[in-house]
Structure 1
Amino acid sequence: MSMPIALAIFDIDGVVRDVSGSYRRAIADTVEHFTQGHYRPTPTDIDQLKSEGIWNNDWKASQELIHRHGQVSDRTYNTDYKAIITYFQERYRGTGDDPKQWTGYITQEPVLMSAQYLAKLAHEGIPSAFFSGATRGSANYILQQRIGLSDPILIAMADAPSKPDPTGLYMTIKQLEATVPSGLPVLYAGDTVADMATIKAAQTHCPERLWLGVGVLPPHVQADVIYRDRYSKTLQEAGADLVLNHVEQLTPEKIQALIQSQND
């Protein structure tokens, strides 16, 4: 391994795995169920909600969409949070707690990152970790069972406050710095406004360190050029220093160039 030059931390949903047919489908299913079939949010509806930067938790996002539709339609719907979580998880994960027995949408998620890519980063002096609003079970399902990583560093939903609070990012960095020098530049790659707001909050709180936000366009926004460009602009306006179509375009060379451009 080369001398460490930076830390790369990745969000999971929309970056490491394509959740357009799983998490987002589960949101739509849940909202449709709890609005008694009156409203099924489109991918654009969900993106618009998430562009507000505070709906990183998909259970809360589902609850909010149900609540808002009730307001505009003048109807009263059940928005019990525990009931929403139960229904959502049955669609997304399936029944049961054993990941080997899951049958829900999670089993169909396309993988967007390889173990070889992470190994290349590490070889070039860029150790990596994960900070995600996903549950630990679903995050480890993709990282360990699908990608094949062994005991990855992960801060998940129950470990830290929701983004854009940067606490979870700091916790991830602390674990990485158990084996590398402290104070290295930090890159955080994510696909939402909340992800970019997280890295900006860290920059505000700890300006002595170099913080870099990398926006990754989720697959579902790339089918339409106008939508893709608008989504990219939204990430840039939220603080992204760089926006990519695919996470593995964040090569060691691109990371080095990005750090150099900020230091010039």
Structure 2
Amino acid sequence: MNLVAAQPNAIVVFDIDGVLRDVSQSYRRAIADTVEHYTQGYRPPPEAIDRLKQEGIWNNDWQASRELIYRHFETQGQSRETIDLDFAALVHFFQSRYFGPDMNPVDRWSGYITQEAMLVDREYFEQLTAAGIGWGFFSGATRGSAAYVLERRLGLEQPILVAMGDAPDKPDPTGLIAVVKQLTPDATTAVLYVGDTVADMHTVVRARQAAPERSWWGIGTLPPHVQAQPPTYQDSYGQALERAGAAAVLSSVPALTPAMIDHLLAQPSRS
């Protein structure tokens, strides 16, 4: 059964990492592993990764890892131009941690991806469909990793997905707009994009500029690693999402109920 609503009266597009699954001990752990390996000892704490992500341009975790490596050596007085860093080798190291040493086929994955806790279930999407709300996914994760979550873990059938390599990286809104166009031919249907980073919210702002005929809403969520921090840190993280364009910041995806969506869309348009 295809759960996606036909002719939806609203659309919700979801990021995946930190939104549908907890990546604090998978992708983010792989970032820390990679930086530690290439700096021979410096392991960035979660707060350092958050600070980088809040710049809004480091959605790609391979590039984020490289940037943290460069910045570490710069604090040691070394220019990044003098650092001999093989990016292809860095990507391979990162992937070997995330997927495990045997990256193909999926049934032989043994890395951090196998330990990710899910933050939502299939029933949530069934509730959206029953309310006439369409949904899809725009993520910076690789297609294999994203499909593993959506199809194997959540049991969704042929979900509409734009993943890494299908469109430019966020905050470019091309991928978000592509998902929406697959869900409805109506150019005025309101869209909510749910994400946990500044780049996600910037993507909504740029989508609004690219397609002003539509109402666009950014919905922020606090990822699990942030919710494990003191309230002051959680507040600061949420405020960063709001400054970047979030109309609301929630503790989890299930809090975005059909009733809440109706309430948000009844407010003055953000277009």
Normalising by structure 2, report the TM-score. 0.93
The structural deviation recorded for 1:153 is 0.5
> Which residue of structure 2 aligns with residue 163 of structure 1?
170
Q: CA RMSD in A?
A: 1.5
Q: Does the alignment pair 1:146 with 2:150?
A: no
**Which of 196, 199, 206 pairs up with 1:201?**
206
Match of 1:79 in 2: 85
Q: 1:124 aligns with which of 131, 135, 138?
A: 131
**Match of residue 8 from structure 1:** 12
* Counterpart Cα distance in 2 of 1:35 and 1:77: 11
Q: Within 2, Cα distance between the matches of 1:229 and 1:103? A: 35
Alignment-mate amino acid for residue 181 of structure 2: K
CA distance in 2: counterparts of 1:93 and 1:250, whole angstroms? 31
Q: 2:72 maps to which residue?
A: 69
Q: How many angstroms does 1:174 deviate by?
A: 1.4
- Confirm or deny that 1:254 pairs with 2:257: no
Q: CA deviation at 1:78?
A: 3.9
Per the TM alignment, residue 77 of structure 1 is displaced from its structure 2 partner at its CA by 4.5
**SS of residue matched to 2:107:** helix
Aligned residues: 261
The answer as to whether partners of 2:16 and 2:138 remain within 8 angstroms in 1 is yes
SS at match of 1:242: strand
Amino acid at match of 1:240: A
1:115 is aligned, of 115, 122, 130, to 122
Alpha-carbon distance between aligned partners in 2 of 1:103 and 1:117, rounded to the nearest angstrom: 28
In the alignment, which residue of structure 2 is the partner of 1:212? 217
Q: Does 1:103 align with 2:110?
A: yes
Deviations 1:41-92 (CA, angstroms, capped at 9, x unpaired): 0000000000000000000000000011111113565422101100000001
Question: How far apart, in 2, do the equivalents of 1:43 and 1:206 lie?
Answer: 35
Deviations 1:177-198 (A, max 9, x none): 26xx442000000000000000
> Is this contact kept in 1: 2:219–2:246, CA < 8 A?
yes
Are 2:19 and 2:221, in contact at CA under 8 Å, matched by a contact in 1? yes
Correspondent of 1:173 among 180, 194, 201 = 180
Q: CA deviation at 1:2?
A: 8.9
Q: Which amino acid aligns with 2:190?
A: P
- Counterpart residue identity of residue 120, structure 1: Q
- Amino acid across the alignment from 1:254: M
- Give the Cα separation in 1 of the matches to 2:184 and 2:85: 42
What does the per-residue CA deviation read over 1:16-65, in whole Å, with 9 as the maximum and x for residues that have no partner?
A: 1000000000000000000011x110000000000000000000000000
Q: Name the SS for the 1:18 alignment partner.
A: coil
Alignment pair present for 1:59 and 2:62: yes
In the other structure, the counterpart of 1:89 is 95
Deviates more, 1:197-206 or 1:71-80: 71-80
Given that 1:2 and 1:124 are in contact with CA atoms closer than 8 Å, whether structure 2 keeps it comes out as no
Cα distance in 2, alignment partners of residues 96 and 221 from structure 1:
29
Partner Cα distance (2:166, 2:193) in 1: 18
Matched, 1:229 2:226: no
Unaligned runs of 5+ in 2: none
Q: Superposed, which structure 2 residues align to 1:233-248 within 5 Å?
A: 233-248=239-254
TM-score, normalised with respect to structure 1: 0.95
Whether contact under 8 Å (2:187, 2:214) holds in the other structure is: no
The one-letter code matched in structure 2 to 1:195 is D
The one-letter code matched in structure 1 to 2:50 is D
Report % sequence identity. 55
